[in-house]
Structure 1
Amino acid sequence: MKRATRKHTYDSPPPTKGTGGWTRLRNYFLTGLVIAAPISITIYLTWAFITFVDEKIKPLIPHAYNPDNYLPFSVPGVGLVAAFVGLTLLGFITANYLGRSIIAAGERMLNRMPLIRNLYSGLKQLFETVLSQQQKSFQRAGLVEYPRKGLFAVVFISTAAQGEIRARLDGETGAGDEGDDIIGVFLPTTPNPTSGFLLYIRESEIIPLDMSIEDAAKLVISAGLVSPKYQEQLKSLTEKGGRAAAAE
């Protein structure tokens, strides 16, 4: 006589023997840790950054303008404010013709130094890419089949291929003739989305997602553990649409 065996699926986890007091206590502790850890780390890193900037900038502030010389305690953030004012003033000066001429002369001098010019040009390009207001950010998130058919990866959709990349790929794939554009996408890695791969793919092979770039980044960082509540979003949009139609 065969013994009946119970099968468990991923949707129905095997039953446990029960939750005791220690289990509930552990769950409360983990819940508190999840809430307190991000807040504590954020406060600590912010305070460490302010302290670091103060230590570097405060000695450069003239004695007459340093509030620490008049108060019995140190005022945090003075160096950060001074750095902000200084950088803003520098940007204002370099925005006019005289300032641009001075910067251009300094760059020509740096370009004559073999090692320094490589370091300077690399850092300048990095900061211009990250901070420049003229650079376009990612448009939206999507899914592509990668690294093989049947597997899907989250990507950040950039812009259509330009220049030589577009010309070469149009000739190789015939995408331009079919009206199917070639799009650049960034495939982030988990759990560090700042590194990844730049891929060029047909627009028809991208599955657009409704989630925001921030939600997609959270999904990547958490390795899929933190996912936006898509059904609730659909319900909210449906209710708003119904109210708008009723108002008309």
Structure 2
Amino acid sequence: MLALRKWLLSGLLVIVPLAVTLGVLNWIVGTLDQTLWLLPEQWQVWLSDHRIRGLGVLLTLAILLVVGAVASNFIGKRLLGWGDALVRRIPVVRSIYSSVKQVSDTLFSESGNAFRTAVLVQWPREGMWTIAFVTGAPGGDVVNHLHGDYLGVYVPTTPNPTGGYFVMLRRSDCIELKMSVDEALKYIVSMGVVVPGGPAALPTRQS
């Protein structure tokens, strides 16, 4: 029975990650395939008859590359500036657009530091520790009420790191970790099971 249990657990450790990965990839490919409506109607009919799986991924990548190339030159930047100013004049839309734009600029900007540093903080109370990610420095009127050097950090939940809390802590209360953001996320999602650095990083027991 012990051997059967061991084999069953070993099989689960192999199959579950593979099945989840394939499921997520299948959902992504299926979602991106919906971009085929951007093609001419005759092409859509031909593609629906032949059902070429994954073509939407290639189309999405092509669109991103074209938009990025246009946005990188002088004329494209001017056009984007005019479009940005136009959208910001539309009520309701401008509030949503401005929020999303600010977050995306912070996350994807090459010069930004958001989510590039993993830190160890005491949360939710003193004596309890968790991993968080630095999002930047406090700004706006907030800095007028904070005395000292503070950092904005995002404390993710486990095992779903897409939910969490944004808090501002003193820099001295944040211990910078010598691990990448990817390693820290794996550690969080696995609830501490996947240790950064592998088994060699685990502390050895004293005999």
1:150 aligns with 2:150: no
Structure 2 unaligned segments of length 5 or more: list them: none
Contact 1:182–1:202 at 8 Å: present in 2 too? yes
The correspondence of residues 145-224 of structure 1 with structure 2, limited to 5 A, is 145-159=122-136, 161=138, 165-166=142-143, 168-170=145-147, 175=148, 181-224=149-192
Shift of 1:28: 1.5
Contact 1:145–1:153 at 8 Å: present in 2 too? yes
Shift of 1:62: 4.4
Q: What RMSD over aligned residues (CA atoms) do the two structures have, in Å? A: 3.4
Contact 1:67–1:75 at 8 Å: present in 2 too? no
Contact 2:107–2:115 at 8 Å: present in 1 too? no
2:56 to 63, 79, 91: 79
Indicate the percent of aligned positions where both proteins have the same amino acid. 30
Shift of 1:226: 3.1
Q: How many residues align?
A: 202
1:120 aligns with 2:97: yes
Q: Given residue 14 of structure 2, which amino acid in structure 1 is its aligned partner?
A: I
Shift of 1:229: 5.4
Contact 2:114–2:136 at 8 Å: present in 1 too? no
Shift of 1:230: 7.4
Structure 1 unaligned segments of length 5 or more: list them: 1-20, 176-180, 236-248
Shift of 1:123: 3.0
Shift of 1:89: 1.4
Find the counterpart in structure 2 of residue 60 from structure 1.
Answer: 38
Contact 2:195–2:202 at 8 Å: present in 1 too? no
1:46 aligns with 2:14: no
Choose 1 or 2 for highest CA Rg: 1
Find the counterpart in structure 2 of residue 100 from structure 1.
Answer: 77
Q: Given residue 181 of structure 2, which amino acid in structure 1 is its aligned partner?
A: I
The 3-state SS of whatever aligns with 1:114 is coil
Shift of 1:81: 1.4
Contact 2:155–2:166 at 8 Å: present in 1 too? yes
The correspondence of residues 226-237 of structure 1 with structure 2, limited to 5 A, is 226-228=194-196, 232-233=200-201
Tell me the TM-score normalized by structure 2: 0.75
Tell me the TM-score normalized by structure 1: 0.64
Find the counterpart in structure 2 of residue 7 from structure 1.
Answer: none
Comparing 82-91 and 116-125, the one that deviates more: 116-125
Shift of 1:68: 8.6
The 3-state SS of whatever aligns with 1:156 is strand
